[in-house]
């Protein structure tokens, strides 16, 4: 199963694609989508959508996983981040992908074993699990962590279903 992990942001959105087969993870690719602060918000959102649509078309993931938004103390920043997150969800949904959402603590726990891990600890573990991700920029590393989290959760759900233990 090919999973697209997404770490939404208006200025920088990270993306990462992993292949999960037979309990193994393989790095496919990763990158970031940047938008210019000089462009009006609608143009920035359109550029984000177009870039993610191109990533989806190129790598043909079967699923997408998105990090949930953390609300910060600046309401305007939170609103803009929410709009970018909406575009990220829209791009995945319009491509027909099943989309899962995960809290930051859940992602950290899936990748490092603790929900209180630092960004550096998450990045180190992503690089350990995915050899091809050694040079990934921070936002792409975060997106790969989201994809790893989804792959682990999906594998567990499938094992439970096979054992007749799924709800």
Q: Which residues pair with 66 in a beta bridge?
A: 6, 101
Indicate which residue of 38, 50, 98, 139 is catalytic: 139
What is the enclosing helix (H) or strand (E) of 76?
A: helix 75-94
Per-residue burial over 56-85, b = 16 or more CB atoms within 10 Å of its CB, e = otherwise: beebebebbbbbebeeeeeeeeeebbebbb
Indicate which residue of 19, 38, 39, 67 is catalytic: 67
139 has catalytic annotation: yes
Task: Kindly state the DSSP code that residue 135 receives in the 8-state scheme.
Answer: T
Q: How far apart are CA 167 and CA 164, in angstroms?
A: 9
Nearest to 13 by CA among 146, 110, 115: 146
Which amino acids are annotated catalytic? 7, 67, 139
């Amino acid at each position: 199963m090919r999973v697209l992990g997404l770490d939404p942001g208006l200025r920088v959105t990270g993306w990462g694609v992993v292949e999960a087969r037979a309990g193994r993870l393989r790095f496919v690719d990763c990158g970031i989508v940047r938008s210019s602060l000089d462009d009006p918000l609608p143009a920035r959102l359109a550029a984000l959508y177009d870039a993610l649509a191109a990533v989806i078309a190129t790598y043909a993931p079967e699923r997408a996983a998105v990090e949930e938004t953390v609300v910060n103390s600046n309401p305007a920043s939170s609103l803009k981040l929410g709009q970018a997150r909406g575009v990220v969800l829209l791009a995945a949904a319009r491509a027909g992908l099943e989309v899962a959402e995960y809290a930051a603590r859940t992602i950290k726990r899936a990748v490092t074993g603790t929900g209180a891990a630092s960004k550096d600890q998450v990045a180190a573990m992503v690089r350990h699990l995915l050899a091809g991700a050694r040079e990934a920029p921070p936002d792409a590393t975060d997106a790969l962590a989201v994809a790893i989290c989804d792959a682990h959760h999906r594998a567990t759900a499938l094992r439970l279903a096979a054992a007749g233990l799924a709800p």
